[in-house]
Structure 1
Amino acid sequence: MILALSYVGWSGITGFLQPRFLPTSKNEDTNDEDEDEVERIVDGDLSAVKAGTFEPCKLVFVRTNLKLTSGKIAAQCGHATLACYKALIKVNPQLVRHWERTGQAKIALKGTSEEQLLELEAIAKSLNLCARSIQDQGLTQVEEGTRTVLGIGPAPVNMIDEVTGKLRLL
């Protein structure tokens, strides 16, 4: 019983730690362009997936053919997770809150090409799932504009599996 209460307490706290509650600084003005770009991406009906008794998860597809360092992969996965979160919280906050309350499961999968990434993004969007591909700024390991990772969800595991069920874990 105590363990269950601790879990609920932690979930409640995590809701208050989201970046959207933090004050912004003047140095973050350059992020407005990124937010506008995220909003221009055409999605299906992101509000169509309902929160319920299912187990939701967040998926990150990583292009292993780019031979990114583990630190770069972590940063790109963070960008994808945040991009999906910011897009979905606006139109389907119940689904995001359900994902937060159920442990915020995340799965990382291996990918082989940009073509595969774009195909998976199109399939996810056709199923009304939130999908965001991340294009690198080109400051360190890859050329500017290289699509490095794809974030999908949060969404029910069975829907995520329809898109990525045959891929291997990273």
Structure 2
Amino acid sequence: MAASVSLDRLPPTTASYVIATAIIAGVTGFFIGQGAALGLFSSSSAKKSWPNSYDVKVHRGSSDEGEDEDIEEEEEEGESEEEEDDGGELATFEGNTDEVKLVLVVRTDLGMGKGKIAAQCSHATLACYKYYLSKSPNSPILRRWERGGQAKVALQVKTEEEMLLLQAQALSLGLCARVIQDAGRTQIASGSRTVLGVLGPKSVVDTVTGHLKLL
């Protein structure tokens, strides 16, 4: 008569748990990936703006509204300066063969930042050029300045009175001398005179501004 042998069930090993866990994780990940591809987990807060329908979260600073505000600020800054409407008779400086240069005299007592100074100097440069074009478009002085690389030098003064005195001296010599007056929409008070531009032969310009320090 055959004897029956009772075998006790052995407990699962650690390796079995690891293998089972890996299988479950793989199956779960597969179904989650399929659901995401079908858009089952999409959020209404995401903005679909790409052709492949990927959900793209747009940063608040890059919104259309933010861009409009930046444009308005740039336009306002660009309109914040005005050119004074005074000027003098331009001399022809016949026989003068000096290099032609533009001196930009900047007031330092206004506390303008670097960006503001750069903007004001740009206005002064354009003001001098436009004045020559309107008063003497065929002037050899202007043509020499254009062909010579449009030399520019930035100098400094500490008061408005000194700036206006320099302008008067330049005008008396027949130089182009333009003062920029600010509208006061950004850093400084309205009506502030910020930069004086003086354009002409080097030897003549230096008689007016040669004693000033570099900015």
With the shorter chain as reference, the TM-score category is 0.7 to 0.9
C-alpha distance in structure 2 between counterparts of 1:49 and 1:75, whole Å = 30
Alpha-carbon distance in 2 for matches of 1:125, 1:52: 18
Bigger proportion of residues as helix:
1
3-state SS of paired residue (2:109): helix
Q: Give 1:120's aligned amino acid.
A: L
CA contact (8 A) 2:92 2:141 kept: no
Secondary structure in structure 2 of the residue aligned to 1:131: strand
Question: Is 2:90 the partner of 1:62?
Answer: no
TM-score by structure 2 length?
0.58
Are the aligned partners of 1:49 and 1:129 in contact in 2 as well (CA < 8 Å)? no
Partner of 2:155: 109
**Paired residue for 2:186?**
140
Tell me the distance in 1 between the aligned counterparts of 2:95 and 2:116: 32
Q: What residue identity is the alignment partner of 1:102?
A: G
1:52, CA displacement in angstroms? 5.5
Letter in 2 for 1:54: D
Query: Structure with the greater relative contact order (CA < 8 A, sep ≥ 6): 1 or 2?
Result: 1
For 2:126, what is the secondary structure of its paired residue?
A: helix
Partner of 2:127: 83
Distance 1:102 1:55 in 2: 8
The alignment status of 1:49 with 2:96, answered yes or no, reads: no
Match of 1:122 among 144, 158, 168: 168
Aligned equivalent of 1:157: 202
Q: Distance in 1 between matches of 2:204 and 2:93?
A: 10
Cα pair 1:51 1:98 within 8 Å, conserved: no
Aligned equivalents of 2:162, 2:210: Cα separation in 1: 14
CA contact (8 A) 1:47 1:91 kept: no
Task: Tell me the equivalent position of 2:118.
Answer: 74
Structure 1 gaps of 5+ residues are 1-26
Show structure 1 runs of 4+ deviating over 6 A: none
The alignment of Structure 1 onto Structure 2 pairs a total of residues equal to 134
Amino acid corresponding to residue 162 of structure 2 in structure 1? Q
Over aligned residue pairs, what C-alpha RMSD do you find?
2.0
Unaligned 5+ runs, structure 2? 1-74
Tell me which amino acid in the other structure corresponds to 1:149.
V
Displacement of 1:84 in angstroms is 0.7
Tell me the distance in 1 between the aligned counterparts of 2:129 and 2:87.
16
Return the letter of the residue paired with 2:166.
L
1:158 partner letter: S
Aligned partners of 1:60 and 1:147: how far apart in 2?
13
Displacement, 1:96? Answer: 1.1
SS in 1 for 2:197: strand
Q: CA deviation at 1:90?
A: 2.5
CA contact (8 A) 1:56 1:156 kept: yes
Tell me by how many angstroms 1:64 deviates. 0.7
